[in-house]
Amino acid sequence: MDFGEVLSKAWHIVWKHKVLWIFGILAGCGSGGGGGGGGSGTSWRQNAPFSAGGTGDVEPYLQQAGRWISENWWVVALLILVVLILWVLAMFLGTVGKIGLIRGAFHVDEGAEKLHFGELFRGSMPFFWRVFLLSWLIGLAFLILLLPLVLFGFITAGVGFLCVLPLLCVLVPVLWAVGIVLHQAESAIVIEDARMLDGLRRGWDVFRKNLGPMLLMWLVTGIIGVVIGLVIALPMLVVVVPTIIGFATSRGDLPTTALLLSGLCFVLYLPVLLVVQGVLSAYVQSVWTLTFLRLTRPNPSPGMPASTAANA
């Protein structure tokens, strides 16, 4: 496999067909998440645990939180419901985004000159449940494996984590291998219209027979991801600087102005962050799609579509 050809063509695909950026943003919805919130009561300054002369005792805050939750249980239930709805929506969009990227890279590699969002979105639906359930199957397997280890660590007050640390270290290469197999399995499902378990077997077979190229491609895409991640994370430091300065100089007061300024900076930077992450997701997925095609199909002749070569 020509690594330079795969990497350069993946970039050509992503840069020329910017509709894939949208699918890259969607794919990012299902790959991570986070959030947080906070509030302050009227007694923030008087009872702040880190105010001047404070004892740092958090027990009053826990008691206040418990009373508030018991009095406003419906708010907590509503928030949980909203989070669940957003989580389901994120998983749906993430799966559709991933399938759309695979189909887009595949069609362009076959000779398509233009990609349309509607066609890619609609064409992703027949593969949705297979790709979605495959990801859930893998995630559930690791949850079943890791949950007893985590519970053992908590029950033993952290001592158990030291005992299972060697096993956790062994899981790192296992996670690497599973991630690559999953990439190949998803490509098999979308490109070859394989069933879920057949796609998983196909992904494992491609991985097993091409361990060296897979390892090298994983290293290359990993380095690219780390470098781009650091670049897009640097402006986030500027975003949080006003808040850090505000807390450092507030002497127990809630730095409202600093928080608002940081929030405004984050809102302004968010579109840039989403676009860059979308491009990165689209590029990495295109690389893995082309990797699957190059390892499972004959090399097409110059100017010959991949589908023609495959049927030759």
- Among residues 298, 296, 308, the alpha carbon closest in space to that of 209 is found at 296
Q: What is the C-alpha separation between 254 and 238, in angstroms, rounded?
A: 20
What confidence score (pLDDT) does residue 32 get?
A: 45
Segment 172-188 shows an average pLDDT of 88
The residues, any chain, with a CB within 8 Å of residue 288's CB and separated by 6 or more, are 183, 184, 187, 217, 221
The angle formed by the CA atoms of residues 84, 87 and 89, to the nearest 5 degrees, is: 110
The pTM (predicted TM-score) of the whole model is: 0.73
Helix (H, G, I), strand (E, B) or coil at 290: helix
| Full DSSP string of 239-268 | HHHHHHHHHHHSTTS--HHHHHHHHHHHHH
Segment 113-139 shows an average pLDDT of 90
The tens digit of pLDDT for each residue in 224-251 reads 988 988 888 887 777 776 666 666 666 5
The angle formed by the CA atoms of residues 10, 13 and 15, to the nearest 5 degrees, is: 105
The pLDDT of residue 203 is above 70: yes
The pLDDT of residue 256 is above 80: no
Whole-number CA gyration radius for the chain: 24
